Amino acid sequence: MAQADSAGDPLLEEFAAHIQHERGLSANTLRSYVSDLTQLADSCGPLRQLTLGSLRTWLAELHDAGLARSTLNRKVAAARAFTAWALRRGYLSEDPALRLRTGSRGTHLPDILQADDMHQVADALAALRLGHADLREESPREYALAARNEALVETLYAAGIRVSELTGLNIADLDQSRRTLRVRGKGDKERTVPYGRPAAEALDRWLAVRDQLAGPSAGSAVFLGARGARIDPRVVRRIVDEALEGLGTTGARGPHSLRHSAATHLLDGGADLRAVQELLGHSSLQTTQIYTHVSSEKLRKAYTQAHPRA
């Protein structure tokens, strides 16, 4: 049976040997499991530190990327096989995949921010930036990081883009006069999306101090990490999670929540479904129609509360 590349992770190599020699799985299944688990480690960090939360975030990212439900189910099967084995071997103290749900992800959306929630998040990020403004001469990097974080969150919400699209942005992709972004989505397809004035102002502030973080490998990346290179998606997720965790009224977490919130708010505000489809880069209108369920539920609640014969 052919060996699969286990990416040099000793724990993954041991698991690959287990499923090959003890479970007798096919070479194709072996390769798929190892590929899925390598991707999981790239997204969540060391496999020894997996948690239910990190697994859910990983699946949300995959769903946001448009993977088919069958593919998601296979990846969950790989994760469950690994965590059950790791628990038996003592590498994990509990099995985080036991409560991992699949099957309904085709129609499930993560928690969504209310418009007031987004205003609160934006105000908090602006306050953090202003808090560093007085010390800008003494700690220019701290101010630059605060300005970056504000621009990053504003851009994700304003344009409704995926985290991979945000991290892939180059300065040439910004048209600041027209307030549009050129993004590369699934299948390397390009689209142009607009963004609003708050995001434009935040981007201007960030780009004015970008050189404070830029290192030799910064290239033309719009958003940079603390070490001066193009920002990593995991850093983006951490920044967004920290920005959202102060909200007591929602369980929304991660960049995908900002994307889903933007789509829902656009539809609630009367935007055309096909315009939202184009904005999000969905190849199928059916994918975009998921958001109408959220808006319909909001309408139903308003009707029940307000209509005299509800």
- Clarify whether 259 is annotated catalytic: yes
- Stretches where the chain sits below pLDDT 50 are 1-7, 103-107, 310
CA 214 – CA 224 distance, rounded (Å): 7
Phi and psi angles of residue 245, each rounded to the nearest 5 degrees, phi first: -70, -20
In a domain, 78, yes or no: yes
How much is the pLDDT for 3? 39
pLDDT single digits (tens) 224-249 = 999 999 999 889 999 998 888 877 66
State whether 60 and 15 are in the same domain: yes
pLDDT at residue 310, rounded to an integer: 47
- Catalytic one among 148, 259, 260, 265? 259
| Number of domains present in the structure of the chain | 2
Residue 69 among the catalytic residues? no
Decide if 162 is catalytic.
yes
For 57-77, the pLDDT digits (tens) are 888 878 766 677 778 888 888
> Is residue 96 in a domain?
no
Q: Which domain holds residue 57?
A: 10-89
**Catalytic pick among 129, 132, 148, 162:** 162
Active site residue 91: no
What is the structure's pLDDT at 201?
A: 95
Q: What is the pLDDT of residue 1?
A: 32
CATH code, 55: 1.10.150.130
For residues 136 and 240, membership in a common domain is answered with yes
Among residues 75, 256, 260, 265, which one is catalytic? 256
Q: Mark 27-54 as b/e (b = at least 16 C-beta within 10 Å).
A: eebbbbbbbbbbbbbebbeebeebeeee
Domain shared by 259 and 168, yes or no: yes
Q: Are 77 and 171 found together in one domain?
A: no
- Look up the pTM and report it: 0.61
